[in-house]
Amino acid sequence: MGERNWAGNYEYRAARIAQPSSIDELRELIAGSPSVRALGSRHSFNDLADDDRLLVSTASLPSTVQIDADARTVTVGGGTRYGDLARQLQESGWALHNLASLPHISVAGAIATATHGSGDRNGNLATAVRALRILRADSELVDIARGDAGFDGAVVSLGALGVVVEVTLDIVPTFDASQRLFENLPWDAVTGRFDDVTSAAYSVSLFTTWDEPTVGLAWLKERADVSSTIGDDFFGARALTAPRHMIPTMDVRNTTEQLGVAGPWNERLPHFRFEFTPSNGEEIQSEYLVPRARAVEAIEAVRRLAPLIAPVLQISEIRTVAADELWLSSAQGTDAVGLHFTWFRDQPAVEAVLPALEGALLPLGARPHWGKLYLDRDHVVPGLYPRLAEFRDLVHAYDPDGRFRNAFVERLLG
């Protein structure tokens, strides 16, 4: 068996996987191959990061953290994991506005795919990008910053412009947060008072298997410096008095601390502890981000598919993302609601249910998460991005020979 992704559901086709430790070594590798792709923390569930010639891991590239307190920015190597960056920021009195569920993912990989956390007013992780340093196929290091022509296309780039070796992010003063869980949230509250439910805390996640009479868990993250208005009842859901994993069969010790205990932002905003190394395997993930105006329609459509979905599903999460103007962001031009599916690791079974799921969601304008498993058999997805033609031109300007264009990028751009 060859090299695989984190989940083990995809085997890389690349003839070689290299792990350069310097920009000069990376430059030599790119110059010596007709095609190449950058490989981050391997948390993609599809062929987004693959190439049949050369993959270059960014894990060993320089990752020095440089904080500019006056500018309120941090500059870091693209291969740095968010968990490592967050610890150093916290120690220096700073924070990021949001984190994904897993802090184990790399900075460049997360922003290139518009990976997100949760919160009505929280943009995805890519919205914090202030500047990028990209190593192009012609061996040139190119800097592009917010406000520059093409910047909004370069941030969520799918790795098609080159290797992002350095990222500058907006930072904010550090803050404490807490988490509380509520069980058995009535579906009527979700569909009838959706805005009230999701705006009740800094971040709200709803966990369900879709075939249950109520939403199993509502997971609320609140800033400690904001007075909470939530008691022991959350729209009919009861506050838990013991911690719980969102998947009942999993060890709750792997999740970040709950029960309203305040702690540093980097130990509360993710669902999982950085000290916990996620097992390689046992799941496949899909996610579809629906325009917020169609969210209730989408939720009701998925509930109707529950008999088909539930047998291959471990858990599903509903969460919100604020709108942005990044060309290939799944929240470009609209507040979005993510419907996330953690499947059992059974590729044929998952692919058998995706056509029905996509048949229900894509007509509502749902955009698949770039790094998750999706099919798009009717090639609908490209039409969901009104600035795709501009992105195509940007890719050609950075990489006219198509050295960083793999099968995934070709399917999108044509």
Identify whether 273 is part of a domain. Answer: yes
Tokens of 73: 């920015």
Taking alpha carbons only, the member of 237, 62, 254 closest to residue 141 is 62
Q: What is the mean pLDDT of the chain?
A: 96
Query: Which tens digit of pLDDT belongs to each residue from 305-344?
Result: 999 999 999 999 999 999 999 999 999 999 999 999 999 9
Please list the residues that pair with 331 across neighbouring strands. none
Indicate the DSSP class of residue 240.
P
Q: Which domain holds residue 332?
A: 176-368
User: In the chain, what is the greatest distance between 2 CA atoms, to the nearest angstrom?
Assistant: 61
Give the tens place of pLDDT for each residue, 22-68.
999 999 999 999 999 999 999 999 999 999 999 999 999 999 999 99
**55 located within any domain:** no
pLDDT of residue 84: 97
Residue labelled with tokens 């950058």: 38
Q: Does residue 81 contact residue 54 with C-beta atoms inside 8 Å?
A: no
pLDDT 10s digits, 129-174: 999 999 999 999 999 999 999 999 999 999 999 999 999 999 999 9
pLDDT band at 114 (very low <50, low <70, confident <90, very high): very high
Residue 335 falls inside a structural domain = yes
| Whether 165 and 181 share a structural domain | no
Instruction: Judge whether 108 and 167 are in contact, CB under 8 Å.
Output: yes
Q: What share of the chain is helix, strand, coil (3-state, %, to 5)?
A: 25, 25, 45
Q: How far apart are CA 77 and CA 139, in angstroms?
A: 18
Residue 1 has a pLDDT of 45
328 and 242 in a common domain: yes
- Tell me the one-letter amino acid at 344: F
Q: Under a CB-based contact definition with an 8 Å cutoff, are residues 167 and 132 in contact?
A: yes
The whole model's pTM is what? 0.97
Question: 383 — phi, psi (to 5°)?
Answer: -70, -10
- Residue 242: pLDDT over 90: yes
For 16, the token pair is 């070689």
Q: pLDDT of 244-281, one tens digit each? A: 999 998 999 999 999 999 999 999 999 999 998 765 56
Q: Please calculate the CA angle 234-263-222 and round it to the nearest 5 degrees.
A: 30
pLDDT for the residue 279? 58
- pLDDT, one tens digit per residue, over 76-110 is 999 999 999 999 999 999 999 999 999 999 999 99
* CA nearest to 93, candidates 74, 112, 113, 120: 74
Q: Are residues 94 and 243 in the same domain?
A: no
Same domain, 113 and 251: no
CB proximity list for 204: less than 8 A, separation 6 or greater: 118, 119, 120, 197, 198, 218, 219, 220, 221, 319, 320
Q: Do residues 126 and 98 lie in contact, with contact meaning Cβ atoms separated by under 8 Å? A: no
| Nearest one of 49, 38, 268, 6 to 167, comparing CA atoms | 38
Q: Total structural domains in the chain?
A: 2
Question: Tell me, what CATH number does 142's domain have?
Answer: 3.30.465.10
On whether both 164 and 180 belong to a single domain, the answer is no
CA separation for the pair 240, 179 (Å, rounded): 11
